[in-house]
């Protein structure tokens, strides 16, 4: 039987006063934020000033750069398309048709395929990027969301929000090889750098499950992170990020309005960081000095200083920010 371990804060984290952080960027250093109800991707520079609002198809959500970071792909759920933004010109240059309500997607390792969860028809769709043809339609549980492709491209993992399952999919055959029962309304994944553990956020049961990728079995107890002053049912974890060395995991706690910074090996909380309302997506700068958090109900992003593990700045961006990505 899987049991639960709960990590309750001893004190609420305070927002620290600090100078505005500047990313040590390899690329443009720009920050991209998709806004579900703004129907745009908001672009901020390293001083956190808005430099452009890129109009997209309706309800932009999940975003990914290609490997060269020349193009930014954006899943737009209400127009059944993935828009493609040229990072140099900051213009939409293409759109890729998908099934109904694309939610989250992932590239194959060779970037020839996109695997996208289509929320409304309960399928994982594989799209050939060269031809724009849907080559696989893999049935899942209702309302699939999270998609993670293993680095060898042979296995995909997909969460089903309604079935409370993680589906393990053989991408060669296009078949589900295993269903893993997790908590209520599983949402997103993070893979540890050694590829041994897959963390799954379960929004409505307030839990994190860890899957052993060698066996595809649940590993240990489920984890629950509760900041000071909140009830367990107020914690709705969704987005995650992990440091390059795998030592720390950042977990957005949704309605609990905090990000938990977790020791990935001991599972202990290093800090609960107070951010905006309904903390959703989180991304780290390449030097891992700062993290950026999209806050869906306060219409802003929060910057976390990773050295002090405190919030240092919040910036309004637009209506219902969903995902944040940093071009560095």
**320 and 35 in contact (C-beta within 8 Å)?**
yes
Distances (CA, A) of 34 to 68, 103, 224: 20, 13, 28
Instruction: Give percent of the chain above pLDDT 90.
Output: 91
Q: Read off the pTM.
A: 0.93
Residue tagged 């395929």 (tokens)? 113
Please state the rounded mean pLDDT for residues 166-194.
97
What are the tokens at 240? Answer: 């995650």
CATH number of residue 290's parent domain: 2.130.10.10
Q: What is the pLDDT of residue 302?
A: 98
**140 and 167 in contact (C-beta within 8 Å)?**
yes
Euclidean distance between CA atoms 69 and 205, whole angstroms:
36
Euclidean distance between CA atoms 82 and 323, whole angstroms:
14
3-state secondary structure of 233: helix
Q: What stretch of H or E contains 92?
A: strand 91-97
Residue 198 β-bridge partners: 191, 211
Structural domains in the chain (count):
1
Q: What is the pLDDT of residue 20?
A: 41
Backbone angles phi and psi of 321, in degrees to 5: -60, 135
Q: Which residue has the higher pLDDT, 242 or 20?
A: 242
Range of the domain at 191: 4-326
Q: What is the pLDDT of residue 83?
A: 98
Strands in 102-107's sheet, in edge-to-edge order, are 102-107, 113-118, 123-128, 133-139
pLDDT band at 3; cut points 50, 70, 90: confident
Arithmetic mean of pLDDT over the chain: 94
């Amino acid at each position: 039987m899987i049991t639960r371990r709960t990590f309750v804060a001893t004190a609420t984290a305070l927002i620290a006063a600090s100078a505005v952080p500047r990313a040590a960027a390899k690329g443009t250093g720009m920050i991209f934020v998709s806004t579900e109800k703004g129907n745009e991707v908001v672009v901020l520079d390293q001083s956190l000033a808005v430099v452009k609002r890129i109009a997209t198809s309706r309800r932009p959500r999940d975003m990914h750069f290609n490997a060269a970071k020349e193009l930014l792909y954006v899943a737009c759920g209400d127009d059944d398309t993935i828009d493609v933004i040229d990072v140099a010109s900051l213009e939409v240059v293409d759109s890729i048709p998908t099934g109904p309500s694309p939610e989250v997607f992932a590239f194959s390792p060779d970037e020839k395929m996109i695997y996208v969860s289509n929320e409304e028809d309960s399928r994982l769709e594989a799209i050939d990027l060269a031809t724009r043809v849907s080559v696989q339609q893999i049935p899942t549980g209702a309302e699939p969301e999270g998609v993670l492709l293993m680095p060898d491209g042979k296995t995909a993992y997909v969460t089903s929000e309604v079935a409370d399952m993680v589906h393990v999919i053989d991408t060669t055959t296009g078949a589900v090889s295993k269903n893993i029962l997790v908590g209520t309304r599983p949402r997103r994944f993070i893979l540890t750098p050694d590829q041994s553990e897959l963390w799954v956020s379960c929004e409505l049961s307030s839990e994190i499950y860890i899957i052993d990728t060698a066996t595809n079995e649940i590993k240990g107890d489920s984890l629950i992170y509760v900041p000071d002053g909140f009830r367990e049912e107020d914690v709705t974890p969704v987005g995650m990020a992990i440091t390059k060395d795998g030592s720390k995991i950042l977990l957005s706690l949704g309605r609990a309005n905090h990000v938990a910074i977790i020791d990935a090996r001991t599972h202990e909380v290093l800090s609960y960081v107070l951010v905006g309302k309904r903390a959703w997506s989180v991304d780290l700068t390449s030097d891992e000095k700062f993290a950026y958090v999209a806050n869906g109900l306060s219409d802003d992003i929060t910057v976390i200083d990773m050295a002090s593990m405190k919030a240092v700045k919040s910036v309004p961006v637009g209506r219902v920010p969903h995902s944040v990505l940093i071009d560095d």
